[in-house]
Amino acid sequence: MTSKSLSDLRFPYKSDRLKPLRAFCQTTRLGSVSRAAEALYVSQPAISLQLQALERELGVKLLERSGRRLVPTREGEVLYALAVPLVEGLDGLPAAFRREVGGLDAGELTVAANSSTILYLLPRIVDLFRRQHPDVRLRLQDAITADGTDLLRSDAVDLVVGSMVDVPADLSYAPVYRFDPILLTPPDHALARAKKLSLEEIGRYGLILPPKRQITYRLVDQVFQQARVPYTVALEVGGWEVIKQYVAMGMGISIVSSICLDDNDGERLATRPVTEWFPARSYGVVVRKGKVLSPQARAFIELIRPDLFVRRDHEDAGHSER
């Protein structure tokens, strides 16, 4: 497709002018026509036709395939940078109008986070937000971080709170909290009484871990694989509270983040620091690059500050029983 000269390009306004631009922006953001169609609640052929019409009008190719994803060409990147603020501005006009009329304490906010983050990290933040902005309708979407980022890309949520290791290019991740890795055992376990730990000793006992697709499992597996130390996963189960209960019952041991521990765990569990082998986990805010955050989202993010949590000290010599 040959390029038109800049002087020949025309942009006559049409009642559906926004549709092809919206289709292009969603396809660029999500990397496929099918996912863009799902996000916009239209058929795949409709998205394809809108993209073709836009390319014909501009006289340039806007998207090309790279592996399994559609990515923007050089011209597509230019259009994307110009179109995103326009599309989001017009799409967000009703909500922006309501915010201006009703002020900050109106409207709604949707935050995606996994169940552990909702249970351990967000209660104080949510409580503060509700007290400061009681008229904002706050919705917490339970989703692991990988699913939450998909919701973020499709504008189904305003932001994600969670832990990330590999940050995609279209997202921004601001880590705020840091929690150390902890070995969790029953109080009478051999590892709880051992004077010195080793990765080989830990690998001898069956581990209870979250499901494979979650970050904790991948980090633990990576540590053992890189050290070439054999280990066994005795049980995969979702939820730190379930894992703690099963460890207390003697079904196995676990590597957990200190975010999930509280003072009530001391009687039934023993903890040992394992920062020598396993990395600390960061938790923070994930937003989509280029997206204009609502006043409600900005107000929520401002409450996510490090001084809300005091790191517990698990670094004492020997074992630490809580």
CATH code of 196's domain: 3.40.190.10
Report the C-alpha gap between 306 and 299 in whole angstroms: 15
Are residues 185 and 272 part of one domain?
yes
Identify whether 235 is part of a domain: yes
Range of the domain at 119: 104-178+282-308
Are residues 271 and 190 part of one domain?
yes
pLDDT at 151: 86
Are residues 137 and 212 part of one domain?
no
Give the mean model confidence (pLDDT) for residues 290-308: 81
Identify whether 68 is part of a domain: yes
pLDDT at 153: 85
Identify whether 225 is part of a domain: yes
pLDDT tens, position by position, 1-52: 444 444 444 444 344 678 899 999 999 989 999 988 888 888 999 999 999 9
pLDDT at 152: 86
Residues forming beta bridges with residue 179, ordered by sequence position = 281
pLDDT at 315: 37
Categorize the per-residue pLDDT at 293 as very low, low, confident or very high, splitting at 50, 70 and 90.
Answer: confident
Whether residue 223 contacts residue 277, with contact meaning beta carbons closer than 8 Å, is answered with: yes
Identify whether 319 is part of a domain: no
| Domain boundary residue, one of 91, 120, 150 | 91
pLDDT tens, position by position, 118-140: 988 899 999 999 998 888 899 99
Across the chain, the runs of DSSP E, i.e. the strands, are 63-66, 69-72, 108-113, 137-142, 159-162, 171-179, 181-185, 207-209, 233-236, 254-257, 270-273, 281-288, 320-321
Identify whether 313 is part of a domain: no
pLDDT at 87: 84
Residues forming beta bridges with residue 140, ordered by sequence position = 111
Are residues 275 and 198 part of one domain?
yes
Residue 253 DSSP one-character state: B
Are residues 218 and 295 part of one domain?
no
Query: Where residue 35 sits, what CATH number does that domain have?
Result: 1.10.10.10
pLDDT at 98: 62
pLDDT at 267: 85
Are residues 134 and 83 part of one domain?
no
Are residues 154 and 28 part of one domain?
no
pLDDT at 161 over 80: yes
Helix (H) or strand (E) holding 79: helix 74-91
Give the mean model confidence (pLDDT) for residues 204-223: 91
Categorize the per-residue pLDDT at 104 as very low, low, confident or very high, splitting at 50, 70 and 90.
Answer: low
Are residues 10 and 74 part of one domain?
yes
Are residues 86 and 21 part of one domain?
yes
Identify whether 321 is part of a domain: no
Whether residue 178 contacts residue 281, with contact meaning beta carbons closer than 8 Å, is answered with: yes
Report the C-alpha gap between 10 and 309 in whole angstroms: 56
Residue that the structure tokens 């039934």 belong to:
268
Structural domains of the chain, count = 3
pLDDT at 306: 61
Identify whether 215 is part of a domain: yes
Are residues 53 and 202 part of one domain?
no
Identify whether 316 is part of a domain: no
| Domain boundary residue, one of 68, 91, 114 | 91
Structure tokens at 257: 């983040």
Write the secondary structure of 279-309 as one string of H (helix), E (strand) and C (coil): CCEEEEEEEECCCCCCHHHHHHHHHCCHHHC
Pure H helices in 92-214 = 93-102, 115-116, 122-132, 145-153, 190-193, 199-203
Are residues 147 and 287 part of one domain?
yes
Categorize the per-residue pLDDT at 73 as very low, low, confident or very high, splitting at 50, 70 and 90.
Answer: very high
| Domain boundary residue, one of 46, 63, 91 | 91
Are residues 31 and 108 part of one domain?
no
pLDDT at 320 over 60: no
